[in-house]
Amino acid sequence: MKVVITGGAGFVGLRLARHLLNRGTLIGPSGNQEPIERLLLFDQTVPEFRPDGLDNRVEFISGDISDRETVFNLINQKDISVFHLASVVSGGGEKDFDLAIRVNLHGALHIFEALRAQEGSPRLVFASSIAVFGGDTMPSIVSDNTKQTPQTTYGVTKSICELLINDYSRKGFFDGRTARLPTVIVRPGKPNAAASSFVSGVFREPLAGLDFVLPVAPETIMPVLGYRSIVDGIIALHEVPGDSLGTDRAIGLPSLTVTAQDMIDALNRTAGHRRLGKISVQPDPFIEAICAGWAQDAAFDRAIGLELPRESTLDEIVQYYIEDYLDD
């Protein structure tokens, strides 16, 4: 079978690709495990050289996801699965509304229609976000049953796509499922445009010996999940029988609810013996305003019922980031 990952050159996309190659198979439209013969990693820009851990089954393709013809050329056979990760993130979406709508909404619609054009019922896993929740009436703990009143353009586009996936699946156009993600940590490399980028930076920069300015108050609270569990959860959700999802195909992945101070404490417990950069606090009103509109805690009963993987501790996340990216 052919597998397409949009946003495939990004951090999560590359880790997902490596895991899929190691697995070797996925459940295909036939309902049986099928070998992954081709893995297309689609992104706006792609690496010049093949990253480690990827073999000749992998092909990088660059292009604009808001271009219908480009997307239809990617999704052009019935024996296919799609992992749709590409997105304009929260901070970027607030600064450029038109770009967020074009990429997050129109790009997703092209994917949905390309899958609809295929025979059978190919599987789609869409990466949504806890940013679909927000507003003055948001409860202290959100769940899959909480009314969605997002307070960012990013969250609005994710919410729209969740509903469209439910409807396309109800119609039998494809077999869709949505992984509603908390903030993913710890991302290596440079910060991205997400308002939550500081949640990785508070670990990554001090571990690299660099000072870090925390743009929110230490008591700021949010749900997080480590990148290993994100990838494992996305794959596990792909493999779940569609009938077990019911009429609502969106599942909030299990998360840990922590404060910024909890993150700093976990860093010091796990890596206090290293030469760490200093952390100072200097609140950024733009970042704080976005974070204030997000959910602070989440329940994930449906994910537990589906036996999706969950994190144990924040310390564990920090430790495997050190193992994966810092220690030889």
Residues assigned a catalytic role: 154
Let me know if 244 is exposed, middle or buried by CB neighbors in 10 A (0-12, 13-18, 19+): exposed
Q: Using CB atoms within 10 A of its CB, is residue 44 exposed (0-12), middle (13-18) or buried (19+)?
A: middle
Task: List Cα–Cα distances, 251 to 223, 237, 328, in angstroms.
Answer: 15, 9, 36
Indicate the burial class of 279 (C-beta count within 10 angstroms; 0-12, 13-18, 19 or more).
Answer: buried
Tell me the one-letter amino acid at 62: S
Residues whose CB is less than 8 angstroms from the CB of residue 133 and which lie 6 or more positions away in sequence, other chains included: 142, 146, 148, 149, 150, 155, 294, 295
d(CA 156, CA 154): 5
Which residue carries 């997400």 as its tokens?
194
Amino acid letter, 143:
S
Any residues with CB less than 8 A from the CB of 189 and at least 6 apart, and which?
11
Distances (CA, A) of 326 to 20, 52, 188, 209, 320: 24, 16, 10, 12, 9
- Looking up tokens 């969106």, which residue turns up? 250
Phi-psi region of 225 (alpha: psi -120 to 50; beta: other; left: phi over 0): beta
